[in-house]
Amino acid sequence: MAYARVTDPQTSHDAAKSVDNITATQHVILSLLKTPMCDLELLTAYGLSVEVGIAPYASESGIRSRRSELVDAGLVVHSGDYKLSPSGRKMMVWVKR
């Protein structure tokens, strides 16, 4: 079951009620994506969350898969912005809806 903080906007409470089986990993991703970031930044932020003990371990592909599931559920959206990867490729910037 998903939960929203008391201080979160009504849309967050509505979204939380609409999700039946959100995982701990997805919950952390939603929290991190309150700040728009690309997958590379998300992986780094998630890794730091694991290091400080506020997130369960997840592989990089697992984190991307959980983010994709949140996109499919309408809880995460493309912000319309892009960032460049170290190799110069465009990366989509994601944000919590």
Q: Does domain 23-96 have CATH number 1.20.1440.130?
A: no
* Res 1: pLDDT: 42
pTM of the model: 0.78
| High-pLDDT (> 70) share of the chain, % | 88
Give the per-residue SS3 of the chain: CCCCCCCCCHHHHHHHHHCCCCCHHHHHHHHHCCCCEEHHHHHHHHHHHHHCCCCCCCCHHHHHHHHHHHHHCCCEEEEEEEEECCCCCEEEEEEEC
